[in-house]
Amino acid sequence: MTRTSVRSAVRVAVVAVLSVAMLVPMYIMVVNAFKPQQEILLSPLGLDLATATTEHLAAAWQNTSFPVVEGYAVTLFLVLACNVVAIGTSVPAAYAIARTPGPLFRFLLFFFVAGMFVPAQIILVPAIFVLRATGLMGTLPGLVLFMASTMIPFTLFVFSGYIRMLPRSLDEAASIDGASRQRILWTIVFPLMRPIVATAFILNALSAWNDFVSPQLILGPGSEFKTITTGVYAAVSTYTTNYEIVFPTLLLAVVPILVIFVVMQRHIMGGLSAGAVKG
């Protein structure tokens, strides 16, 4: 064997071992979701097909503290609604900031970008008082507005950077033809922004999907609306050693997002690196 082929064999072996290490927790979760507690404790890695059962999975599905279908519906609604608010408000604002010269608009950009350094869950405590004062506490609109406000800084920042790279001659030609700025924005500029809108959508969607603190504190633990994360918390947090509950519940919570991820992996990982390069 030549030196390069030895080296590439070592490289493949290292990566393979690390990949297995990354996947072991998923394997443990999947096999144990089909076993009774006693068997989970006795042989955590095996799966005896003779005694495998979907009983606990069915119980987790019917658990009233984590209504799975509704949890998915609420979470999906949050993903879409937050993105509509964050992207819908950031597009015109970023366009105005990118296309208007002057110190006022430079300051506005700085004002928005400063929000990227404010962690959402840290500002949640005082935000609760604002939501209470406006009657939005405990409601889905309140939650959507709060989560969208934490997405606006990044979204607006990457949008304004992207619009700056689009040729100004496009807007100028349209404005000579008499089109209004709103029309220029939505019919000419916005379609050109598709790649960066996709990036922002994916990153915002991931953070909305996985957010636990905002829905838990804004909707409240007793809320009729449960997201996937607050539902899992309600179902699992007091039974962390009852593995008959833990593993099937976690399995139900992660399978759809993992399927979406595997199908969309190129777009998700590509969107992330595009966002970083532009940001």
Partner 1 sequence: MARTTSSRRGFAGSLVSGLMTIPAAAVYTGLTVVPVGFAVYYSFTQYNGIPSQPPTWVGFENYARIIQDPIGDLRPAVVVTALIAVAGAFLVNGAALGLALLLRRTTPFNTFARVVMFYPHVLSALIVGFLWQAILGPQGAVNNLLESRGASSLPFLADPDWALTTLIVVIVWAQFGVQLVLYLAGLQAVSPELQEAARLDGAGSVQVFRHVTWPALAPTVTVTIVTSVLSLLKVYDVVLGLTNGGPGDATQTWAYEILAVSFANNKVGLACAQAVLLVLVAGILSFTIIALRRRAEEGAEAVG
> Which residues in 234-253 contact partner 1 (CB under 8 A)?
236-237, 240-241, 243, 246-247, 250, 253
What is the distance between the alpha carbons of residues 72 and 123, in angstroms, rounded to a whole number?
26
Interacting span for partner 1 (CB under 8 A) from 52-60, 61-69, 87-95, 190-198: 87-95
Site for partner 1 in 206-225 (CB under 8 A): 206, 209-213, 217
If binding is defined by CB under 8 A, does position 195 make contact with partner 1? no
Site for partner 1 in 149-178 (CB under 8 A): 149-150, 152-153, 156
If binding is defined by CB under 8 A, does position 11 make contact with partner 1? yes
Please state the three-class secondary structure of the chain as a single string.
CCHHHHHHHHHHHHHHHHHHHHHHHHHHHHHHCCCCHHHHHHCCCCCCCCCCCCHHHHHHHHCCCCCHHHHHHHHHHHHHHHHHHHHHHHHHHHHHHHHCCCHHHHHHHHHHHHHHHCCHHHHHHHHHHHHHHCCCCCCHHHHHHHHHHHHHHHHHHHHHHHHHHCCHHHHHHHHHCCCCHHHHHHHHHHHHCHHHHHHHHHHHHHHHHHCCHHHHHHHCCCCCCCCHHHHHHHHHHHHCCCHHHHHHHHHHHHHHHHHHHHHHHHHHHHHHHHHHHHC
Site for partner 1 in 12-41 (CB under 8 A): 12, 14-15, 18-19, 22-23, 25, 28-29, 32, 40-41
The residue from 34, 146, 162, 201 that contacts partner 1 (CB under 8 A) is 146
Nearer to partner 1, 20 or 58 (CB): 20
Closest CA to 150 of 130, 131, 127: 127
Shortest approach of partner 1 to residue 205 CB, angstroms?
10
Nearer to partner 1, 192 or 256 (CB): 256
If binding is defined by CB under 8 A, does position 277 make contact with partner 1? yes
Closest CA to 192 of 153, 159, 155, 157: 159
Per-residue binding string, partner 1, 55-84, x by CB under 8 A, is ------------------------------
Closest CA to 159 of 98, 108, 80, 81: 98
Interacting span for partner 1 (CB under 8 A) from 64-72, 123-131, 164-172, 191-199: 123-131
The residue from 2, 5, 49, 126 that contacts partner 1 (CB under 8 A) is 126
Interacting span for partner 1 (CB under 8 A) from 48-56, 66-74, 144-152, 190-198: 144-152
Site for partner 1 in 94-113 (CB under 8 A): 95-97, 99-100, 102, 104-105, 108, 112
Shortest approach of partner 1 to residue 17 CB, angstroms?
11
